[in-house]
Amino acid sequence: MHRAGRLTFPDSSQSLQCPWERAYQDHRRKVQDAQPLVDTRAPLTRSHLHLKLKKLKLEEERLAVIGRDNRLLLEKVSCIMGTRGQADSRSNCTHRR
């Protein structure tokens, strides 16, 4: 494969060049000087997409329910531990048929 020759006139007659030839030479110079550029960075993540507010709210509600249940269980266990373990002679059970 051979290289194409210069399309411009010799250096002594550069003032005689057509405007399109000057534009073409500028273009060729820019293409020759162009550096390769590949963007390998990850795309920017938007904060409203990264931070899931609904998920955080549901997790907070779930933890609130667990905390309330734990407090109720602790009260029941402390009440049981406070008694002497006496049997209840009066049963409040109702028999069903």
Q: 3-class DSSP state for residue 64? A: helix
**pLDDT at residue 3, rounded to an integer:** 60
Counting beta carbons within 10 angstroms of the beta carbon of residue 24, is it exposed (0 to 12), middle (13 to 18) or buried (19 or more)?
middle
Q: Give yes or no for a contact between 24 and 9, defined as CB atoms under 8 angstroms apart.
A: no
Read off the pLDDT of residues 79-95 as tens digits, 9 standing for 90 and up: 988 887 666 666 666 66
Task: Look up the pTM and report it.
Answer: 0.40
Report how far apart, in Å, the C-alpha atoms of 24 and of each of 3, 13, 19, 76 are.
16, 17, 9, 90
More confidently predicted of 26 and 46: 26
Residue 77 pLDDT class (50, 70, 90 cuts): very high
| Residue 66: pLDDT over 70 | yes
Instruction: Give how far the C-alpha of residue 89 lies from the chain's centroid of Cα atoms, to the nearest Å.
Output: 64
